[in-house]
Structure 1
């Protein structure tokens, strides 16, 4: 599996383990990295002249020195600009010594339109803002609109968080090694990377496995093995029964969107749980989806006894307040959980906001032995209502915030956005990379909650169900494109689901 993401510290450990195991030493890895960059430049920009290679004093600069030498040996007109001297005896110093090109100071950097820049000033481990000559070089390249090939990450982008530290190059292509880093997928760094080329430089899968990465790029490789496929003899309740709580008569549409999405995702039976005063409104709009009156926790108890439901969605259009809290706590507590056949509760929108003043009550219920899995799907504002201290901690990346919230709540957290992060209480996390701006439309989140619940109902583990739902939701939106509204999404899921099923049987 090559969808693991390595933090800068984990990447350094992968280098160390590879060097210790041999036969490659540190300079050997650097030569392979520089060769990968030179190969991309020659293939994608064969007519570029000159090629300006900007080298920093560390290993990223060392990769640049190797690339500059190989490009010059291939007949390319190369201008080499250096910022500082590599540490004596380092691999970067060896690369600089082997590069015969004249080194000009970065402070004198100048370029003309039509040239190409290879950015090798700083890589994934950058921890402080670009300044001085490096910042001026970024500005000069930006002003000229020059194409940039970045080594590892665009200089100025944090490999840990995707944050732009001061300023950064906007690359057309980023060549990285062994595995991607979180900064390649988290915004705003993702927007600065352009096309990402993942190069094999000799760091094997067995080395990566020894590091035991806990962060992944979300995609089918992460969860396909547990993606539900109906058995030949399956009946509707064996495929799971999802229940979606509806709001009052003027706020029923969100629940119906969730319910339809749950049905499309494969749940064999779906029921909208409606207050009495909204029964007629819901009945007028439902066909294959069932309807049941649930006004109070007592009604919920009868449902649990009669129908043995598999999953629930609470929040879309429901309203904020005590009623939402009572329903959520009733589902999570009182020894229900797996003994009652409940696979999970998806808490979204108003369901999350209802616990703004007493989040620990929710978290404690989620820790109750035998409680069903809890999945919460907050956007940024809702995340801040539930975990304000984590949300306000500027030292934490979006990835770190989602992880901290998941561990605190004992829940799977889907921290929504164009770079959605899915985090589990056990420390696993995935970053989604296939999001599209068309999904920023009212009701889109209601559909996502329904997909998660539908997959939970079919027995998919909570983390994998959330990851799969986020990817399917984004893929459907991306393929549909401009003009998308939430009502389109359940139908747009069909080709995505069909392809997943076909590949599962290959």
Structure 2
């Protein structure tokens, strides 16, 4: 796992190392500035060989101090550098003040913000590199009129457009939520490259973050996270040993039961069941109403089939204790008889994935919430999440007027704590939370982008992946995280033209690579 921090956690980490005497804030600022230069020249090597004109926008806090360091270092590399300061030089933070003075004492000029804005685009015509060191993780309010100032400095139609580098996060973006603070408007400083220090921040991977940050480079500036509580982890590549199969009977790898809807509505459940089987569950059975038996039987081979019409027939099937994981929801239906099936399934207290129609039934029948248990996994998309947790969803959808704004992490953690089980809130920025506060993010962004997953049935395949892993004995949190990773890996392995049926079929190739058997 890889840590993803809030701005408060980052401040705590910096403060702890400074208080320990291991390093000064000034030294950290110097390291940060140098790391930005290294990232720029690593991304665009020609810039190191052919210096141009850089415009460095400095804010009043430590992010602005980083900007003064960057300006000084760029000048030392032969660049012509303009520095524009937002605010009063006498009110800079102490470390930023020292670097401001170093810049001036070395012959650098600091242009007042109003003067830079008055020059506007004309004054920026020859700029080849723009450094956004205005706010970083410290932004707590909307840009307001500053947005218009930035638009004057860098109009969208500028040609050629300079490369824009954000120091920690692009100005206007909440580092904790990935949301643009204030009323939505064209974003003036959409970065080509964002350099984050020590670790990525939540805002880099949530909501609008991936679109506005460009490429993110994480720079090591010599910090240790120590004992800071509540840190979110990024989902990383699963261990091959946890997915490999060793000697043993099929029942050693679990028996998953997936319930299907009626005639004409069986495709989603069949897709989930095939995903579970491809994931390595020893056996997978489809529970199907009598009216759909022939339809399903004509479509399956390795999957098993049993008739389940009523809550009583499900209870009878569940007397087989070898069935150790259940999946309800894909194509199930939302009537009273399906709600009764869900109640029986929850009463069985076995690892259970609730998806799609099962989530709608849950939202329609609040008394079912009390039956959820700690081996359940709920897999809502945002619409389903809003029906299940309307008050939490309302906080998440409210305009973010100040920072840190309420985030998808906050919402998913709150939901998991309320229902006492794992919640996987789907999206390109999938967030997975357990009731004890553990939280993971799988961002299908940057080099993990998988736009082909925007296709009908992809969520059904994900539910099947999770139930297959639960049947094989993984914990709910581990199963949800592993399935999210593999789901995206399958989409990326297949590429354009992906449809949901392809996901289980490409999974063996992905598993072979992870387990070293490719």
- State whether residues 241 and 515 of structure 2, in contact with CA within 8 Å, keep that contact through their aligned partners in structure 1: no
- How do 1:469-480 residues align onto structure 2 when only pairs under 5 Å count? 469-480=483-494
Alignment partners' CA distance in 2, 1:98 and 1:181: 30
Say whether 1:489 aligns with 2:503: yes
Q: Alignment partner of 1:35: what SS?
A: helix
**2:402 corresponds to which residue?**
none
- Is residue 244–residue 272 contact of structure 1 (8 Å, CA) maintained in 2? yes
Q: 1:202 aligned to 202, 209, 222, which one?
A: 222
User: How far apart are 1:301 and its partner, in Å?
Assistant: 2.0
> Structure 1 segments of 4 or more deviating over 6 A?
none
CA positional deviation for 1:135: 4.0
- Report the 3-state secondary structure (helix = DSSP H, G, I; strand = E; otherwise coil) of the residue aligned with 1:229: coil
Aligned with residue 90 of structure 1, among 91, 94, 113: 94
Matched ranges for 1:371-386 at <5 A: 373-386=375-388
The aligned counterpart of 2:119 is none
From 392, 397, 400, the counterpart of 2:407: 397
Tell me the equivalent position of 1:387.
Answer: 389
CA distance in 2, matches of 1:159, 1:269: 45
Taking structure 2 as the reference length, what is the TM-score of the superposition? 0.90
Q: Which of 64, 67, 70 is the aligned partner of 1:67? A: 70
CA contact (8 A) 1:477 1:484 kept: yes
Q: How far did residue 21 of structure 1 move?
A: 1.9
Bigger shift: residues 195-204 or 80-89: 80-89
Residues 411 and 142 of structure 1, relative CA distance in 2, 3 Å threshold? farther
Number of the residue aligned with 2:401: none
Matched, 1:99 2:103: yes
Superposed CA offset, 1:355-379 (max 9, x none): 22333x2321124xxxx61111111
Q: Deviations over 1:293-331 (max 9, x none)?
A: 111122222222235212111011111122232222222
In 1: Cα distance, 2:261 partner to 2:162 partner: 53
Specify the alignment match of 1:112 in structure 2: 125
Distance apart, 1:139 and its partner CA: 5.4
Deviation at 1:91, TM superposition (A): 1.2
2:436 alignment partner, one of 426, 432, 437: 426
Match in the other structure for 2:285: 271
Structure 2: 5+ residue runs without aligned partners? 117-122, 399-404
The residue number in structure 2 matching 1:358 is: 365
Q: Is the CA contact (8 Å cut-off) linking 2:251 and 2:322 kept in structure 1?
A: no
Aligned residue in 1 for 2:19: 20
Q: Which residue of 1 aligns with 2:165?
A: 149
Measure the CA separation in 2 of the matches of 1:58 and 1:214: 25
Q: C-alpha displacement at 1:157, in angstroms?
A: 0.8
Deviation at 1:287, TM superposition (A): 0.3
Change (3 A) 1:241 1:134: same
CA distance in 1, matches of 2:14, 2:216: 20
Aligned equivalent of 2:178, options 152, 159, 162: 162
Is residue 91 of structure 2 the alignment partner of residue 79 of structure 1?
A: no
SS at match of 1:115: strand
SS in 2 for 1:426: coil
Query: How far apart, CA to CA, are the structure 2 residues paired with 1:493 and 1:438?
Result: 15
Counterpart contact for 1:29–1:201, Cα < 8 Å = yes
Q: Which piece of structure 1 moves more, 451-460 or 106-115?
A: 106-115
> In 2, Cα distance between the equivalents of 1:64 and 1:160?
22
CA contact (8 A) 1:226 1:460 kept: no
Aligned: 1:316 with 2:330: yes
Residues 328-355 of structure 1: per-residue CA shift (max 9 Å, x gap):
222222xx32xxxx3x111011000012
Tell me the matched-pair count.
485
Of 488, 501, 506, the residue aligned with 2:515 is 501
Which residue is equivalent to 1:461? 475
Alpha-carbon shift at residue 72 of structure 1 (Å): 0.5
In structure 2, the CA distance between the partners of 1:48 and 1:352, relative to structure 1 (3 Å rule), is farther
Aligned counterparts, 1:275-294, within 5 A = 275-294=289-308
The answer on 1:348 being equivalent to 2:355 is: yes
Deviations 1:78-101, CA, capped at 9 Å, x for gaps: 111111135356111112111131
1:135-157 deviation per Cα after TM superposition (whole angstroms, max 9, x unaligned): 42245425223321110011111
Contact 1:315 1:324 in 2 (8 A): no
Alignment partner of 1:502: what SS? Answer: coil
Preserved CA contact (<8 Å) 1:6 1:213: no
Structure 1 unaligned blocks of 5 or more? none
Asked if 2 retains the 8 angstrom alpha-carbon contact of 1:347 and 1:374, the reply is: yes
1:392 match: secondary structure: helix
Find the aligned partners of 2:410 and 2:261 in 1 and give their Cα distance: 33
In the alignment, what sits opposite 1:417?
A: 427
CA contact (8 A) 2:363 2:387 kept: yes
C-alpha separation in 1, matches of 2:51 and 2:451: 33
